[in-house]
Structure 1
């Protein structure tokens, strides 16, 4: 990259999101563009992966192919049967998650006499609270896959406890929808991670994308209820009851407890809004660089705060591999991962998403749902790993 007179030292802008300068990436669906938002770890073997026609911005990318993770999982297991040694729960998860819970409760307590609109309160809610609650979101994600304890009930109980600083009960509901996201990736009307047609119509412009990125936590929280209802279990009611009791006791019996709750809810909002870690929501499954690839990884240092969720191709390939072993999974099978385009940065994802006309609400892969998936959800609870197949075989 040629040096610029406005920049004293050489700067590789690709580290911040794949652009060589902040003026690039503004042409609508520019063919054969040289600037890419993603990168390939092994550039010597990238082939013609980027030689693709631009995507139609008026519709989603509809594919007839099966989601790629199941087939790649089978191939990797055949090539590297020792991958099974990486599977199983990670005992350290509960200690890390509960430590972050303690950090959030302590911070909230220290701010109990601070005005919610003061700079100190707002800064703490964004920097400390947003980072901590985003970490708790992803702790619940790990626990959802039953990777904190061996038993399912122990994992659910832990998820309810970890949910407390988030302020609103969502952990148990998230589990059901997230398991369907893994099993039926990209299936319209089943995978509730996908934007709806109404979102495409209303938000497919710069202002719409700004609104979406600012309030995306609300989209992920409310969209599932509109798209696909799920059967409630007694765990849902336990989760709601525990959270409401915690919030009530906090507000009614702790001096300054209302401000503590405001801090925690504000932290949850920032965690899923314009926060550097929130870039992973868009990075994971939005289509970039006009590819037909639907899952993207990120291997940068922000994974430290996010339970390595940036290893997202690896996670979808093997949901039963915990966060501490995902780097080992990638190292075990580099021939499968180093040639897949990945994101060089999370912080610039949101900016690139908003400013690049080649990416928008339309940039998601969708598939027609299989007939049996549109019926009432199965009574078998999906756990995102080998337990699914075991449960199904026992039922049959």
Structure 2
């Protein structure tokens, strides 16, 4: 029975069990965490905040899997699952279709492609820039909050997205209504949800920050593509890095659904998350020019948290970025989450 379901519905052999387990886990962690938060017991609320945050992390990376159509055989079924999980991850202000389209540009064009030049805005407004830098120094992921907030406004400000206005109004009514109900029930529980969301955003930006030293390309909404940005696979691999949580204990990489095996993912984007460790081992092993030691990731994330607001364009050239990764002084990128398709 299960074999028949797997062959009929799931894209990859052996995909039923790991995908079902991941989906069950993210829902249990999210809704179980919510129950703990609503218990109003301080210890349980703290545990619930962490559980909910990690449930959203796994949901986010399952959305990424759906975007690559690695879960089900049917693109429609992947889209249905991805759209539903987008509500859990809090990225539902942007449509799943836009999310997938923008992320595919990232793969096809070998660039961080977006439609919002927040760096240009901050450069033109030095007071706002100083405020953002101060908050980022305090580890408040304000740039990511700004990008998520822009998703709400985009249908009203960007002509190409005006057909999404009714959808965003409905989404706002549901999401804001639930958040208001939570706030009225308990401001402390509301704060726990915000903390869980901030943890989600921080985990995603930590994983995104050092995986590429691509150019950041701003394109108008709805543009068909950036064919002139396409390069060969050698370019793609030399500008991609694997930020594993652990090479000694590979199971720890499941905390981010193996998203750290990023060279393997870019080598074969249709490989499912549960096959990436084996693919990575076959292609790279623990090659020093591919795998970033976790301690160096932490050092770079910490040291570059303010400079990352505007980025360092010099890191896209030559071997400077790779050298900085190895000594823990890389700046990296921010505002490039696949959950913010602008």
Q: TM-score range by the shorter chain?
A: 0.5 to 0.7
Match runs of 1:289-328 below 5 Å: 293-299=238-244, 300=246, 301=250, 302-328=252-278
Partner of residue 65 from structure 2, selected from 142, 166, 170: 142
Name whichever structure is richer in helix by fraction: 2
Structure 1 pair 142/240, CA: closer, same or farther in 2 (3 Å)? farther
Q: In the alignment, does 2:131 pair up with 1:183?
A: no
Max Rg structure: 1
Match runs of 1:159-238 below 5 Å: 159-167=82-90, 169=92, 170=94, 172=96, 173-186=98-111, 190-191=113-114, 196-198=119-121, 202=129, 207=134, 209-210=136-137, 214-222=141-149, 231-232=160-161
- Which whole-Å deviations, capped at 9, do the CAs of 1:109-149 have from their partners, x for residues lacking one? 2322428xx57535542x32222222221111111111111
Match in the other structure for 2:300? 352
How far the C-alpha of 1:165 sits from its partner, in A, is: 3.0
How high is the TM-score relative to the length of structure 1?
0.53
| Mapped partners of 1:357, 1:153: distance in 2 | 39
Partner of residue 279 from structure 1, selected from 178, 189, 206: 206
Structure 1 vs Structure 2 CA RMSD: 4.6
Partner of residue 289 from structure 2, selected from 322, 335, 340: 340
How high is the TM-score relative to the length of structure 2?
0.60
Q: Which runs of 5+ in 2 are unaligned?
A: 1-10, 215-236, 318-337
Question: Secondary structure at the residue paired with 2:38?
Answer: coil
Match in the other structure for 2:75? 152
Higher relative contact order (CA closer than 8 Å, sequence separation 6+): 1
Match in the other structure for 2:6? none
| Mapped partners of 2:158, 2:76: distance in 1 | 23
Structure 1 pair 329/148, CA: closer, same or farther in 2 (3 Å)? same
| Mapped partners of 2:301, 2:103: distance in 1 | 23
Match runs of 1:239-250 below 5 Å: 241=170, 245=174, 248=177
| Mapped partners of 1:240, 1:94: distance in 2 | 32
Partner of residue 33 from structure 2, selected from 68, 93, 107: 107
Equivalent pair of 2:57/2:89 in contact (CA under 8 Å): no
How far the C-alpha of 1:104 sits from its partner, in A, is: 1.1
Q: Which runs of 5+ in 1 are unaligned?
A: 1-86, 368-383, 385-396
Match runs of 1:27-176 below 5 Å: 88=12, 90-91=15-16, 92-114=18-40, 121-122=45-46, 124-125=48-49, 127-167=50-90, 169=92, 170=94, 172=96, 173-176=98-101
Structure 1 pair 230/304, CA: closer, same or farther in 2 (3 Å)? farther
